[in-house]
């Protein structure tokens, strides 16, 4: 059975088709790759005018970008969520501070004022707007653990949330969209714009295993699907959505910082 096939809901207008997205997208590694890009650009600049016949561009600069296909948005997407940097509301779970950098896939230049939208399950594996799909009962306001922020001049979107839980048939993940030219509304949400990317972010299994052992997450008794068992993670380069996770403290309960540089095609 497909991991999304068991979803049931009373309002069928909320459900989106579980259809893979076909547009070309680039995911870039963070940290060392960004440094490589800067060094490569500097070498290229210094080489202007002194290049001899037959010379080639530095390998480091040419090999920065890695193409990967986009991933399904899944059945739990809801339009018009709030533009806000903290999407936790009253949800328990260890802190997760996301720093997501959006760049143009052709030039690697940062995209400013792009709206980076995320949504994911809580510790019980439930999505707002669809509570009960993972077998648990809790209040549902349709907005918890959903929202997005506009990137700054560096292309950076910083979002504070909690480490996601899991639901039947899927590994731990976060859904993501990147939009441009959105309109901010008086109620704090957004409309319109152009969708450049739909994908998913993933977590190292060693860290998820530690998180799953915490009391807040142990109450989720649904069997957990690992990265190796997931039907979407191993599909055509999805591993490039694996977050770089850094502890926020000396214990697992202190939470993690998660970073990734995401390149999108604007054309």
Residue 50 sits in the same domain as residue 161? no
User: Which pLDDT score is estimated for 135?
Assistant: 87
Q: How many CB atoms lie within 10 A of CB 250?
A: 7
Residue 39 sits in the same domain as residue 129? no
For residue 43, the 8-state DSSP code is H
Q: Over 90: is that where the pLDDT of 246 sits? A: yes
CA–CA dist 76, 238 (Å, integer): 19
Sequence-distant (6+) residues with CB within 8 A of 44 are 57, 58, 61
Neighbouring-strand partners of residue 263: 26, 103
User: Which pLDDT score is estimated for 235?
Assistant: 64
In a domain, 25, yes or no: no
Q: Over 50: is that where the pLDDT of 91 sits? A: yes
Residue 228 sits in the same domain as residue 244? yes
Pairing between β-strand 256-264 and β-strand 95-104 as defined by DSSP bridges: parallel
User: Which pLDDT score is estimated for 237?
Assistant: 67
In a domain, 38, yes or no: yes
Q: Under a CB-based contact definition with an 8 Å cutoff, are residues 102 and 116 in contact?
A: yes
In a domain, 5, yes or no: no
The CATH number covering residue 210 comes to 2.60.130.10
Q: What is the mean pLDDT of the chain?
A: 79
Domain count, the chain: 2
In a domain, 26, yes or no: no
Q: Under a CB-based contact definition with an 8 Å cutoff, are residues 161 and 98 in contact?
A: yes
**Lowest-confidence region among 25-29, 45-49, 73-77:** 45-49
CA–CA dist 260, 263 (Å, integer): 10
- The CA dihedral of 133, 169, 202, 97, to the nearest 10 degrees, is 30
Q: Over 60: is that where the pLDDT of 47 sits? A: no
Query: Which of 27, 121, 114, 26 lies closest to 75, judged by CA?
Result: 121
Query: Which of 141, 130, 143, 139 lies closest to 81, judged by CA?
Result: 143
Residue 45 sits in the same domain as residue 79? no
96: left (phi over 0), alpha (psi -120 to 50) or beta: beta
User: Which pLDDT score is estimated for 108?
Assistant: 85
Residue 53 sits in the same domain as residue 153? no
Residue 141 sits in the same domain as residue 170? yes
**What is the full DSSP assignment across 92-128?**
-S-EEEEEEEEEETTT--B-TT-EEEEE---TTS--T
Residue 37 sits in the same domain as residue 121? no
In a domain, 14, yes or no: no
Last residue of a domain, one of 40, 62, 84: 62
User: Which pLDDT score is estimated for 236?
Assistant: 60
Q: Over 80: is that where the pLDDT of 117 sits? A: yes
Residue 37 sits in the same domain as residue 158? no
Higher pLDDT, 2 or 237: 237
Higher pLDDT, 188 or 46: 188
Tokens of 184: 């901010």
Higher pLDDT, 79 or 36: 79
**Lowest-confidence region among 60-64, 145-149, 192-196:** 60-64
User: Which pLDDT score is estimated for 5?
Assistant: 37
Last residue of a domain, one of 62, 82, 103: 62
In a domain, 19, yes or no: no
Q: Over 60: is that where the pLDDT of 238 sits? A: yes
In a domain, 221, yes or no: yes
| CB burial string 151-177: b at 16+ within 10 A, e below | beeebbbbbbbbbbbbbebbbbbbbbb
Q: How many CB atoms lie within 10 A of CB 36?
A: 17
In a domain, 235, yes or no: yes
User: For the residues 209-220, what does the mean pLDDT come to?
Assistant: 97
Q: Over 60: is that where the pLDDT of 120 sits? A: yes
Write out the residue range of the structural domain in which residue 107 sits: 67-264
CA–CA dist 168, 135 (Å, integer): 10
């Amino acid at each position: 059975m497909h991991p999304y096939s068991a979803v049931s809901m009373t309002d069928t207008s909320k459900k989106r088709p579980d259809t893979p997205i076909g547009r070309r997208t680039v995911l870039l590694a963070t940290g060392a790759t960004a440094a490589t890009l800067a060094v490569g650009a500097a070498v290229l600049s210094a080489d202007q005018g002194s290049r001899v016949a037959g010379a080639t561009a530095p390998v480091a600069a040419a090999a920065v970008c890695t193409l990967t296909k986009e991933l399904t948005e899944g059945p739990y997407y809801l339009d018009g969520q709030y533009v806000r940097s903290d999407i936790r509301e009253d949800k328990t779970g260890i802190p997760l501070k996301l720093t997501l950098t959006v760049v143009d896939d052709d030039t690697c230049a940062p995209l400013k004022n792009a709206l980076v939208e995320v949504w994911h399950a809580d510790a019980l594996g439930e999505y707002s707007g669809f509570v009960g799909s993972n077998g648990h009962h809790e209040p549902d306001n349709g907005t918890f653990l959903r929202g997005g922020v506009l990137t700054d001049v560096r292309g950076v979107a910083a979002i504070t949330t909690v480490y996601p839980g899991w639901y039947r048939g899927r590994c731990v993940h976060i859904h993501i969209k990147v939009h441009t030219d959105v309109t901010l509304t008086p109620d704090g949400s957004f409309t319109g714009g152009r969708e450049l990317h739909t994908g998913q972010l993933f977590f190292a299994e060693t860290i998820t295993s530690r998180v799953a052992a915490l009391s807040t997450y142990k109450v989720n008794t649904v069997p957990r699907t690992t990265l190796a068992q997931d039907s979407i993670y191993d599909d055509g380069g999805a591993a490039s959505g694996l977050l770089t996770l850094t502890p926020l403290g000396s214990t697992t309960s202190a939470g993690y910082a998660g970073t990734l540089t995401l390149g999108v095609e604007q054309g």
